[in-house]
Structure 1
Amino acid sequence: MVTTTAAVLRAAGRPLSLESVDVEPPRADEVLIKVTGSGVCHTDLGLMATAGQGQLPLILGHEGSGVVAEAGAEVTGLEVGDHVVLSYAYCGSCETCNAGTYVHCRQFMALNFGGARADGTTAYRAAGEPVGGHFFGQSSWAGHLVTSPRNVVKVDKDLPLDLLGPLGCGFQTGAGAVLNTLDPRPGSSLAVFAVGSVGLAAVMAAKAAGCGTIVAVDPQAARRDLARELGATHVIDPTHEDPVEAIRALTGGHGADHSVECIGFGRVVRQALECLASPGVCASVGFQGAENDLTLNQGHLLFGRRLVGVIEGDADPHTFIPRLIALYREGKFPFDRLVEVFPLDRINEAIDLAHHGKVTKAVVTFG
């Protein structure tokens, strides 16, 4: 048993409380991770605002990085002292997992949002009472966590470990939408709608893929400026010009070959579809809740345009995170420029700043 400090959600819409939490030893098929850093993602913020009483208390966090502190007897390929990045949970045995499409695991919702292991148990207790955890198989807003080796990607020890966690979700989502889902040919055109951390990861990936025209659409000037620094060839303020008309003008009237929308607002999804050439593909990664009705003009789909929903960048973390790290080493994916670090005792401040868009990617670090 390890006693650690965790940020615990006790009531929806309320600040997290820092509490002493007991963490069970890992089972034979689990590992214990000493957390170094964990990103703040809007998926965390959404559950903080909406969690029902039956889900509480709960430890969130799902962009963790850290060091293997203990490995169960059946674990292979991981040793105490290994540096790791954590990503989403999957069962590894259903038909979609056997096909290698882990993001569509038949147990994805239960394993990532259930607040417990697959058998309904939790490894966490506070003041003798169970605390929900295993969020995305992690609950990395804790100094220690128990997880499955399937969640764990080993990384080199010379990397800035405390900054790597967002590679497991936010950065993977944006970059994967480009490199995996869209797979643009060199010289093609791509528009990104909403360039927060996910959108900026898409911009960097588009540049790494060799796209010739990369358009960043965002109402915040600072984000547009950063997008231009990271690879956007053009930026658009949607509060002052129509993105669809502007993108068509930039592409000789044809429209963009690809688009990525990163916010999920109906109006933005429509713009990301309507700006496309024919044929063209829009990858939708934005999320505004499980029920989010959209109204589309079917005419925009009839001539080869496609709207594709994307989760976790259609990525297998065990191959895609190393790919992003290789791009980082080559100077082609400088994700560290997006990160602002906060110690654990400032986690509520980090969450507030992230909620209001005042930081690009907040990462909470553990001493």
Structure 2
Amino acid sequence: MAKEVQAAVVERRNDPFVVKNVLVDDQPGPKEVLVHIVASGICHSDEAVRVGDAGDLPLPIVLGHEGAGIVEKVGSAVSGVAVGDHVVLSYAYDGTCDNCLAGQPASCEQWVPLNMGSGKRPNGQPVFTDKDDTTQGLGSMFNQASFSTTTLVQESNVTVVGKDVDLRKVGPLGCGFVTGSGTVFNTLKPEPNSTMAIFGTGAVGSAALMAAKISGCAQIISVDIVPERLAMSKEIGATATVNSKEVDAVAAIKELTGGKGVDYAVDTTGLSAVMKQAVDAMGINGVFAPLAVSQKELDLVPFNDLVATQKSVVGVLMGNAVPQIEIKKLISFWQKGLYPFDKLEKTFKFADINEADRASTSGEVIKPVLIMDEDYTV
């Protein structure tokens, strides 16, 4: 059976989002969960798919992968989620490959086919179909498609949270915030009193910054070209800021660290020149994590740039996080006043998705959040 719902669909590359009625299969399979979406963050990865920077994902597609909502139905083999549960959605993983069994679902052997847009369920059927052409299946971002009023996901997509948690705020924990903070907590693991530079102070960079503060970094240097974002980074924990439009970022970071350079660097811009600056701004034994969804190249001379100073570059997907653990941890930090991610958010009506996307892309808003259910209250 199918249920008529609203979803924001991208028909062709570079097309705007079109909010339209589509059909979602509302009969969950054994390990599937039907979720009423209350709100969803907009992530840079959604825009990267829309314009083609994330590769050729199947179109038309329903994007959105920072959803939060309430469970409507569960499949017969679902054990950890119940009807009425309040949930945050993140990426899907199979749970059975060696990497998943080793506690690293972000390295799932089926990560790409599960998350990169096919929109197909384990039975081969699409989650969403076009209302006017039921033979036309729609793609689904992160097997989640949270730019919809109702979606059907796998149990692995779901993290149950307390019913006292405001679902209008926590959706972005499923991607942008968990990526930035998880990179720091799970991969970089900075020692207390160490130093870190974060290039780009959007949602992912800001999350890395807050995690660096929680981890006890003595110096946290944020680098950006937008003064308002740099001011916000100071508010949430940066010890110093660098406007790289006005000064040489590498020289400024070296000066701030007594000539040594930082122990860790994170880039969220995906720009070739900025990523090279991040490498150059590190000291001996520095570790660099480039996180942006970008097709730009990083040009290095391995001996000069890495070997001679024993620097390293590490790839980190989704913060190397187990969502069902990490999201709850971030909520706990937030409730204790240690992780004020909600300061970065601004809400928009679902119908205004293109305005919200523009605000995100321009840098005007760090984390836009779409409200699908305007009647929801905590």
Q: TM-score, normalised to structure 1's length?
A: 0.96
Task: Report the Cα offset of residue 361 of structure 1.
Answer: 0.4
Match of 1:60 in 2: 63
Whether the 8 Å CA contact 1:59–1:131 is kept in 2: the answer is: no
Task: For 1:88, give the aligned amino acid.
Answer: Y
Q: Is the 8 A contact 2:222 2:230 kept in 1?
A: yes
2:115 is equivalent to residue 109 of structure 1: no
Contact 1:11 1:53 in 2 (8 A): no
SS at match of 2:160: strand
Aligned to 1:26: 28
Which residue in 2 is equivalent to 1:39?
Answer: 41
1:132 pairs with 2:138: yes
C-alpha distance in 1, partners of 2:196/2:187? Answer: 13
Whether the 8 Å CA contact 1:257–1:277 is kept in 2: the answer is yes
**CA offsets per residue over residues 124-161 of structure 1, 9 Å max, x none?**
12224233233201000000000111110000111111
How far has the Cα of 1:284 moved from its partner? 1.2
Kindly report which structure 2 residues correspond to 1:130-209, keeping only aligned pairs within 5 A, or say none: 130-209=136-215
C-alpha deviations, 1:58-117, integer Å up to 9, x for none? 111111110001111111121111000000111111222122211111111111113223
Q: Identify the match of residue 348 of structure 1 among 337, 344, 354.
A: 354
Report the Cα distance in structure 1 between the residues aligned to 2:63 and 2:117, rounded to whole angstroms. 11
> Is the partner of 2:313 in helix, strand or coil?
strand
Contact kept, 8 Å, 1:134 with 1:147, in 2: the verdict is no
CA–CA distance in 2 between the matches of 1:54 and 1:338?
29
Quote the residue 1:3 is aligned against.
Answer: 4
What is the CA–CA distance in structure 2 between the aligned matches of 1:270 and 1:10, rounded to whole Å?
Answer: 36
Judge conservation of contact 2:119–2:128 (CA < 8 Å) in 1. Answer: no
- Give 2:376's aligned residue: none
Question: 1:17 maps to which residue?
Answer: 18
Unmatched 5+ stretches in structure 1: none
Deviation at 1:56, TM superposition (A): 2.4
For residue 333 of structure 1, what is the aligned residue in structure 2? 339
Any conservation in 2 of the 1:191–1:260 contact (CA below 8 Å)? yes
Q: Percent identity?
A: 39
In structure 1, C-alpha distance between the alignment counterparts of 2:23 and 2:73, rounded to whole Å: 15
Alignment partner, residue 229 of structure 1: 235
TM-score normalised by the chain length of structure 2: 0.93
Amino acid at match of 2:313: L
| Residues 204, 268 of structure 2: 8 Å contact kept | yes
Amino acid at match of 2:167: L
- Residue in structure 2 matched with residue 301 of structure 1 by the alignment: 306
| Alpha carbons of structure 1 residues 52 and 101: separation in structure 2 relative to 1, 3 Å | closer
RMSD, matched Cα = 1.5
1:73-92 equivalences in 2 (<5 Å): 73-92=76-95
CA distance in 2, matches of 1:134, 1:60: 6
